[in-house]
Chain A
């Protein structure tokens, strides 16, 4: 550290043009300047107390609570070591099904986002004029600023019985899906789409045009070029985007409540147990953590995270 090689006495002891040798804060200043370790401690104590003690402490306590039990009459938590809660979430079919359903929904949302982001990214990066490209780039990120609940609400209106989607599909002799799992997947994909579209589009722009030219010179049609040249190069971007679309979908339960109809997700179970049976809610809360960590581990193994 270059700054610490300067003698502190010289720095603050030299008479200044206005003639004052000692100003307010000089003592502390000299002390801090002379000791980088003290500066580091001063910088880290408060943030680490907050994140390391309060936050991590809360997560640890949550994990410990998952091994406790509740008094069935008073709903009071009783500290006693038991694996009952974990046995329950792993063996009760309704809980298993909810966990699997939520993971399935998260995968479906991710796939939908990826399938839409690919042609859109191709169009924006390689076909559209610079003006159209700029408008679309703003266009896909702008909804991030509209509130989360506002967007959920907009799809609640759209999917309503006799609402706009039903009206739109009526001439074709069809009706919308109504509230349920398909509506939930569409809504979640809508919410997290920018997190997939932006990395895919930027990765598309970084692919040199001459790679595509070479491919078509060798006789590949447009789709074959996309499949054999573009998609392998876009893989890291898809994985990076999928981390967001997957983990955000996994933890969401508000959208499920408003457009999911009777669809129960992991969050619904946690939320409905938090007051009645906190240990069970805590145990179920470890499910998304384990799944997300597993997903991150697999993504990391694929090497995509290094390019983030």
Chain B
């Protein structure tokens, strides 16, 4: 398409402004974590590393981080098993109700998180608590696993469609049983999709807040819940700010580097 030079200029300017709007708030969080003043007014005049050391020694943060990692690890493990099973069932078999099962996997992520959260909260309180399974770390893991399944399912199913089934038949013809064939032939074929699904599920669980607020008992804090509980408290805001800055750096730098590397690889 032929653009006038002024059109190109305005499009370029617009793209630049959007990038600024995307990144300035995040850069601001990192800068503000060194702000000596707690009032949050701008521009920053005094810088300090006080909040970083306060955050590092904060017991609540450490405990919340540990809870988050445990929940994410267990929810991811469940999602890996269930998601892979459904992926196999849907990509290798024809059966009645196949579309319904497909919908069932996507539903927990398609419905607003608050609906999933309230529904599970209700079930745990009215049905499971009377038989001894009340809200606890277990209910948080159940909630997270439910919406993590789809991440593993999507990745594994997409890969299974492209696997050469002849390799499995060859393995069985040569005497490997179903179990051996699975672990030596089938699994290596979809391992990278399995890992990618697991990483996405872990990231999704680690970041989740809405379902967690409804499935966690009082006193159980994942990292997002801790941030949520402390964000509006004036004396804790600087520590929240440090954690936020840390999360930005810890999440975006590795992803940026990996994307750059895979991008260069393609060239």
Contacts and interface: CB of A to CB of B under 8 A. Distances in A.
Given A148-B207, A274-B214, A77 B4 contact: no
A260 interface: no
Contacts of A162: 39-42
Nearest to A223: B7
Contacts of A120: 14-15, 18
Contact of B112 (A62, A123, A250, A278): A250
B12 interface: yes
B99 interface: no
Q: How large is the interface on B (under 10, 10 to 19, 20 to 34, 35 or more residues)?
A: 35 or more
Interface in A238-269: 247-248, 250-254, 258, 266-267
Given A119-B14, A136-B19, A164-B42, A52 B104 contact: yes
Contacts of A36: 93
B176 to A, nearest CB: 8
A276 interface: no
Interface in A66-112: 77
A278 B122 contact: yes
Contacts of B7: 222
Interface string B1-19: 1111001100110110011
B131 interface: no
Interface string A130-147: 000010101110110111
Contacts of B81: 46
B193 interface: no
B204 to A, nearest CB: 10
B162 interface: no
Contact of A271 (B114, B179, B231, B260): B114
Contact of A51 (B149, B213, B232): B149
Contacts of A77: 126
Chain B interface mostly: helix
Given A61-B122, A156-B231, A160-B40, A29 B3 contact: no
B195 interface: no
Interface in B86-132: 86, 88-89, 92-93, 95, 101, 104-105, 107-108, 110-116, 118-123, 125-127
Contacts of A124: 15
Given A65-B122, A145-B203, A190-B22, A157 B28 contact: yes
B126 A51 contact: no
A172 interface: no
A245 B63 CA distance: 34
A57 B180 CA distance: 37
Contacts of B86: 43-44, 47
B122 A51 contact: no
Contacts of B259: 138, 142
Interface in B1-57: 1-4, 7-8, 11-12, 14-15, 18-19, 21-26, 28-29, 32, 39-43
A24 B125 CA distance: 44
B85 A61 contact: no
B224 interface: yes
B72 interface: no
Contacts of B158: none
A151 B252 CA distance: 12
Contacts of B149: 47, 50-51
Contacts of A23: 177
A155 B25 contact: yes
27 contacts: A2-B165, A6-B169, A28-B178, A29-B178, A40-B95, A46-B85, A47-B149, A50-B82, A52-B104, A55-B120, A62-B123, A123-B11, A138-B259, A143-B252, A145-B251, A146-B251, A147-B206, A153-B29, A154-B26, A163-B41, A215-B1, A222-B3, A251-B210, A254-B228, A258-B231, A282-B118, A285-B118
Which 9 A-B residue pairs are closest in the complex by CB-CB distance?
A251-B112, A212-B1, A29-B177, A154-B25, A58-B119, A58-B123, A29-B178, A123-B11, A43-B89
Given A3-B172, A146-B247, 5 more contacts: A3-B169, A61-B126, A153-B240, A162-B39, A288-B115
